[in-house]
Every structure is written in structure tokens, then in C-alpha cells.
Amino acid sequence: MSQKMIRKWLEEEGIFRMEVPDENANFHYVVNYPEDHVIDVLQPAGKRDMVLIACATSVSPEHQAGIRDMSMVKRTEFLWDIRFAINRFGVDFQLDHPENVLNGYLVTDEIFFDGLTKDRLISTIKKVFRAKLHVMWMIQERFGDEKREHDSMYV
């Protein structure tokens, strides 16, 4: 599979946004899935046989303040809840949580070229997004004060 084929698939699905220069990648595409949500599709430098799908998310200052207001025990429990929740999606992740206050998180998954198809690529993009969205919902449920009139996975 080539870089051109991956880009073609992303364009066919209407989610390709741009190619970005990245000295740490053989190629790096930014996609919109869903609209206004950024997900990166890239091939890390030196890894010619795989593609990485990644989504980094920052936690709003208001939500960080809500976490900070909890006791250390409750913060720790909340972080464990997030870890267990993300792990159910079968993705890799990193949490940025100084003093057990979640500042941001990164969700990733990889596809090796011997298993890369258009279906697998698009399904993996959706899986990474759903893992990100799950954490967003957990934070909103716990610390958000607005109730939405409509419910949608497309935030």
C-alpha cells in the first residue's frame, strides 16, 4: 500500500483535510472525522510497514477545575475509570495528568500494511474517534453543567 492509495481512500470518503509537513513522519495527513474533529493519519519515520491513526484532545480549563476540586482519592478513581473505559476500545492511549488532573489525552491505533484495506483504515479512524468521544462524554457527564437537547456522537 502506498501513501497515494491512503490519501485516495481518505479523499473518496470526503474526510481528507490536508497534508502537513512532519520531519518525524514519512507522510502525515490530517482528516476531519466527523466534521470539525481532527484526526491524524501518518506513517512514522522509519516505519515503512505501518500507518498510525492518532487523536490528541485537550481538556477544557473549566473541566480541569472540576477535576481539581475533587479529592485526590476521587481524582485517582476518575482516572482509573477513564483508563478502563479507553482500554475497552482496543486502542493505545496516553493520559497527561499532573497531580491527577486530566489535562489531555492521546488515543492511537496502528495498522500494519499486510492488514491495510480501505475498510480497516476507515474503521480504525472511527474507533479512535469513538474512544476519544467516550472520554469526552465521561468528562461532560461528571463536570458539565449544560444538558443537550439532542444526543449525537458527532459532538
pTM: 0.90
Instruction: Compute CA 13 distance to the chain's CA centroid, rounded to the nearest angstrom.
Output: 19
Enter the C-alpha cell of residue 129. Answer: 474517534
The residue behind cell 475498510 is 119
Residue 154 has pLDDT above 60, yes or no: no
Whether the CB-CB separation of 72 and 79 falls below 8 Å is answered with no
Domains of the chain: 3-143 (3.30.1460.10)
pLDDT at position 1 over 60:
no
Cell of 92: 493505545
Q: What is the pLDDT of residue 133?
A: 97
Cell numbers placing 128 = 479512535
**pLDDT for position 2:** 84
Q: Could you write out the DSSP letters of every residue in 15-70? A: -EEEE---TTEEEEEEEESSTT-EEEEEEETT-TTEEEEEEEEEPPHHHHHHHHTS
Per-residue pLDDT for 153 more than 80? no
